[in-house]
Structure formats: structure tokens, C-alpha cells
Amino acid sequence: MSVLLRFALLCSIALALYAPRASADPPVTEEARAKAGEYTTQGLAAQDAGDYDAAIGLYSKAYKLVPHPLLLFNLAQANRLAGRVDQAIAFYQRYLDEEPRGSQAKAARELLAELKARKAEDARKAEDARKAEDARKAEDARKAEDARAAQVRADEARKAEQTSKTQPSDSVVATAPVAELTAASPPKPPGRNLRLAGLVTGSAGAASLIVATGFSIHSHTLARDLTRHFDPDKERELNRVNGIVPVAWISGAILVGAGATLYWLGHTRDERKDGLALAPVFSGQLTGLVVSGPLP
């Protein structure tokens, strides 16, 4: 506070303290006015020294002795300088309510508007800070939830991997019995195909011999009938049957012999997979077939 302003304020307070005031309150004694003046002077000194709490206490004592509106203005000033915005606003407003046209009314209005604007700005900043803090907390909560979900997925994946390692897969379970059955299946006899071929060939030869036997009996029957009574049809039938019989006998004998040979070869063949081979041989001393391959 400047020296001139302090002096003017002090003079104004002194005049106000000693000026008579129309009031319903009991009259103020001279002793109270003098004491209030001392408190006010000391309060201004403390305020100039930066001891705002002491100044507020001295102004309050002076106001109790002499409740003059200028002391309310002093209380507002000390609270404002001490950073107590709400208290300063309240005292400025009380001063203006009691002396709207007082000597410090203009300054009080300006300072009151300034403090209200500052309070509104502080409130806005506080609201912005609160919203920012709420947003930060929400973001932290979202990140924590994402991290928790990622951890749950990682745990599930790890459990699934461990389960797949400890338990056999479906393919192994399905193929294991097949492999065991395959390994347990006995190997086929090496000459099985030859024996089967021998049986089929021998059976065909036996059937051919049976047919030859039947045609032989029929031939004897026709010959006997012709000796008793000549019949051209029976003679032709006899000639046809006589042409079939030798072919049937020869074919049957060959097939039976071939079947017996194949069965014998299959029965005595070893485990080698090499097959038999037939090759013609022509020479000055020999004509025939040569059998090559594994023989017993």
C-alpha cells in the first residue's frame, strides 16, 4: 500500500471513528474511539509488514469497539492480500451494503469484481482439472482391463498348449490300433497265388476229364445202337462225339498236370518275390522250354 493511500485511509478512519453517527446502538465512548484508533494504526502497520493475520485481528478488535464500515474495507483488504478470496468478497460486499457511496466504494467494487472473476476462473480450472483426472482414471481403468483380458487370453492359450502336449491327438489314437493290427497281421504265404492258380487249373482239368468221360459213354452207346440198327443221324452224332472225346481227354490231362505243377511250385516256393520265367530254347540237339526263377 502506498504511503499516500495509507495516510488518506488512516485519516478517513480517524475522522470516521471520531465523527458522530446516528445509530440505535449505545453511544461510543471517547476511550473506545481512542483504542479503536490504536488498533487500526497497528493493523495498518502489520498489513504493510505482510503480517496479514495480525492485521485482521487488530481490525476486528477495532470494529468491535467502533463498528465503522471502513474497518470492513480494511478487513477485506487484509483477507485479499492473505489469499482468502471468499472472506475478502464477503467483507467487500458488507462494506458496499453499508456505504454504497463511501470513500472506498469504487475501489471495493473493482476489487470485488476482480475477485469474483478470479474465483470463477479458479472454479473453471478446477473443473477442467477434475475432468482431466476423471479421464485419466478412466483411461487407466481401460488399460488395466485390456491388460487383464490379454493376461486371461495368454493363460488360456498356455493351458491349451499344455493340454495338447500331455494328451494324444485324435490322429494318434485313431491310427495306433491300425498300426498294431497291421503289424500283428501274419504275412501271406509266398506261394499262395501259385497254389490258388494250381487249384483252379486242376479243377478245370478235372471238369474237362469228366466231360470226356461222359462223351466216351455216349459214344459207346451210339456205337452199340448202330450195330443193331443203322441210323444216319446217330452216325453223324457218333462222329461228332468221337471228335470231342480225344480233345476233352487231352485238355483235361494237360490242365490237371499244369494245376498239379503250379500247386507244387507254390507249396515249395521260398519267401523270395522273384517270379518264374519261361523261355523257348532251340538248338540242334534240343527244342523245348526253360524255366528260370526261384525253384525249390
Across the range 66-70, mean pLDDT stands at: 95
Say whether pLDDT at 24 is over 60: no
Percent share of the chain, pLDDT over 90: 47
Among 64, 61, 58, 57, which Cα is nearest to 28's? 64
The pLDDT value recorded for residue 11 is 47
Give CA–CA dist 16/216, Å, rounded: 172
Residue 185 has pLDDT above 60, yes or no: no
Mean pLDDT, residues 215-221: 89
Q: 106-123 as b/e, with b when 16 or more CB fall inside 10 Å?
A: ebbeebbeebeeeeeeee
Average predicted confidence (pLDDT) for the chain: 81
* Type of residue found at 163: T
Say what the pLDDT of residue 174 is: 46
Is 104 strand, coil or helix?
coil
Tell me if residue 278 falls in helix, strand or coil: strand
Dihedral in degrees, nearest 10, Cα atoms 14, 17, 20, 22: 140
CB 110 within 8 A of CB 80: no
Q: Backbone dihedral region of 83: left (phi > 0), alpha (psi from -120 to 50 degrees) or beta?
A: left
Alpha-helical segments (H) within the chain: 3-18, 30-48, 52-65, 69-81, 85-98, 105-166, 170-184, 192-228, 232-268
Higher pLDDT, 3 or 160: 160
**Bridge-partner residues for 280, per DSSP?**
289
Q: Give residue 198's pLDDT.
A: 79
Query: Residue 126's pLDDT is what?
Result: 93
Please tell me which residue, 246 or 6, carries the higher pLDDT value.
246
CB distance 226 to 234 below 8 Å:
yes
Above 80 in pLDDT, residue 3? no
d(CA 32, CA 22): 17
Q: What is the mean pLDDT of the segment spanning 80-105?
A: 96
Indicate the pTM of the whole model: 0.44
Q: What is the mean pLDDT of residues 52-56?
A: 97
What pLDDT, on the 0 to 100 scale, is given for residue 284?
54
Query: Does 5 score more than 50 pLDDT?
Result: no
pLDDT tens digits, residue range 149-160?
Answer: 999 999 999 999
What is the reported pLDDT for 258?
Answer: 87
The per-residue pLDDT for 172 is: 46
* pLDDT of res. 197: 85
pLDDT tens figures, 189-209: 667 787 788 788 888 889 988
With beta carbons less than 8 A apart as the criterion, state whether 170 and 243 touch: no
